[in-house]
Amino acid sequence: MFRINNFSLAPVLRADGEQAEESALLFDGQAVGKVDGLVIEKQFKTISGFLLFNTHDCPYEETLSISYLSPAFRILDNRRLYGFYSTGTLREVRVCGENKVRFSFFADDLWELTVFAYPRFTASQWGLAGYVIPYFLIGSLIDGRWFKQRYLKLKMLGNWNKPYIDR
């Protein structure tokens, strides 16, 4: 995994003329789709796609949106970090091997994001999001309600104040 600077965002306006929560995604100036967020903070090329860290440009309740895209720019997975009435700033971003990134977003936190080359099944309810479930335990229960296919695993390594992780 390594940093790149090929992506940029263009604003998308709603019918009422206000800026939407998503932006048009450009790769080397060519429109390739839409992503959540208004500002690209960091962008990476992985072995099997692209990883974008976007924020929403809201100083009082900042949201970090992490998008994982295929080489054809299709969104494969999304994760969001935010805290109610909490601001965040993406900082101390470090690549740790070919599929892991560590970063801070809130005051004293440390996060580790693992990018899988192929999706893993994870539990999507009961606060179990992020735990990798072996395929043989899932059986025929895969219907999108209990388990999801995830390319991204987000893990908090340390903080006393736990923000909300969007599942």
Compute the C-alpha angle 139/143/149, nearest 5°. 80
| Three-state secondary-structure class, residue 138 | helix
Query: How many domains does the chain contain in total?
Result: 1
Note the pLDDT of residue 7. 97
Inside any domain, residue 19 = no
Inside any domain, residue 28 = no
Inside any domain, residue 11 = no
Note the pLDDT of residue 109. 84
Domain residue limits at 52: 38-166
Inside any domain, residue 43 = yes
Inside any domain, residue 50 = yes
What are the per-10-residue average pLDDT scores of the chain (167 residues)?
A: 95 86 94 94 94 88 91 94 82 92 87 90 53 47 60 81 52
Q: What is the H or E stretch that residue 9 is in?
A: strand 7-13
Q: Which whole-number Å values give the CA distances from 58 to 21, 74, 84, 106, in the listed order?
A: 11, 26, 12, 14
Strand partners for 148: 122
Inside any domain, residue 12 = no
Reading the block at residue 147, the tokens are 């388990």
Inside any domain, residue 7 = no
Backbone φ and ψ for 127, nearest 5 degrees, come out as: 70, 20
> Which residues, including other chains, have CB under 8 Å from residue 137's CB and lie 6 or more apart?
none
**pLDDT tens digits, 119-151:** 887 665 444 444 454 444 444 455 455 567 789
Largest CA distance in the chain: 50
Inside any domain, residue 13 = no
Tell which residue, 86, 100, 44, has the closest CA to residue 67. 44
Strand partners for 166: 80
Rounded Cα distance, 159 and 110, in Å: 7
Note the pLDDT of residue 123. 62
pTM over 0.85: no
Note the pLDDT of residue 1. 92
